[in-house]
Structure 1
């Protein structure tokens, strides 16, 4: 008797990346209470790329989002805008 192959659903790569990015986001933009000027140096276990200095400020992020969103991947952009709809609103306002 021949065995029937077991069908295992393969997750969509976009959905997997969006999920991974979403796990790294702050719970809400209000949690980004860093300075408007200056930088924050993140520890290596948080930012493992060559760049570890950032300005983490909610208002600055919203103001810069229309440009920043063009510099990141589509899954990262989707995760940020889904978690924080005010970022999508900032983009629509800038385009108007």
Structure 2
């Protein structure tokens, strides 16, 4: 009889299914205002000025937690994500962080120390 997956395993699998194949797929805006649809930003702000670091961080936290694959590639920006990752990784759940860092070498803690 197969073991029942843990809640953590189920969450991580759900986040992993949403990932792009590679970070180069992330073609979202680097500047300006982004309006997130209600299926993402269902509680609180829906518009985020990406030129304001706190709003950009909030936007990315929402996207990583709630975004489906198409949302991630549409709204996330590769360079912004990599640049923000050392702080952003401390503000998201361990499950999200581990899934992204295991999938993308550019986000692994070792890569951040070298950059």
Q: Structure 2 length as normaliser, TM-score?
A: 0.62
Q: What is the CA distance between 1:57 and its match in structure 2?
A: 0.8
User: Which of 12, 16, 22 is 1:22 aligned to?
Assistant: 16
Q: What is the CA distance between 1:8 and its match in structure 2?
A: 5.1
Task: List gaps (5 residues or longer) in structure 2.
Answer: 49-58, 60-74
Q: How many residues are paired up?
A: 87
The aligned residue for residue 99 of structure 2 is 79
The 1:41–1:68 alpha-carbon spacing in structure 2 relative to 1, beyond 3 Å, is same
Q: What is the CA distance between 1:48 and its match in structure 2?
A: 4.8
Q: Structure 1 length as normaliser, TM-score?
A: 0.72
The answer to whether structure 1 residue 91 and structure 2 residue 112 are counterparts is: yes
What's the RMSD between the two structures over aligned residues? 2.3
Pairing of 1:1-96 with structure 2 (within 5 A): 7=1, 9-45=3-39, 47-50=40-43, 51-52=45-46, 53=48, 54=59, 56-88=76-108, 89-93=110-114
Q: Which moved more, 1:33-42 or 1:19-28?
A: 33-42
Task: List gaps (5 residues or longer) in structure 1.
Answer: 1-6
